[in-house]
């Protein structure tokens, strides 16, 4: 006889996987967005990347904690 995962545990694991997937894709999009911002919109300035800051994002799948948002030195980049 095989053991089955209770439905509640299965749902929690699925939501956790979805949150991690969404977090990874959002961070990828934001990295590309700041790259474009600095190469195209800020090409004639000395503005450059300046690390990341963390924020939390509430989604229908629960809270995504520690989302890494890129920032620029002049503080002009907005997601």
Q: Mean pLDDT of successive 10-residue segments in the chain (79 residues)?
A: 70 91 97 96 94 95 94 94
User: Could you list the residue range(s) of the whole structural domain that residue 14 is in?
Assistant: 7-72
What is the spatial distance between Cα 46 and Cα 44, in angstroms, rounded to a whole number? 7
Q: Structure pTM?
A: 0.83
Q: Evaluate whether residue 60 is within a structural domain.
A: yes
What is the spatial distance between Cα 10 and Cα 26, in angstroms, rounded to a whole number? 24
What is the pLDDT at residue 4? 64
Q: How many domains does the chain have?
A: 1
């Amino acid at each position: 006889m095989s053991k089955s995962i209770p439905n509640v545990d299965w749902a929690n694991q699925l939501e956790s996987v979805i949150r991690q997937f969404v977090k990874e894709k959002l961070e990828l999009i934001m990295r590309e967005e700041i790259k474009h911002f600095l190469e195209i919109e800020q090409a004639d300035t000395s503005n450059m990347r300046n690390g990341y800051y963390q924020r939390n994002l509430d989604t229908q799948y629960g809270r995504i904690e520690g989302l890494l948002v890129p920032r620029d030195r002049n503080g002009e980049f907005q997601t």
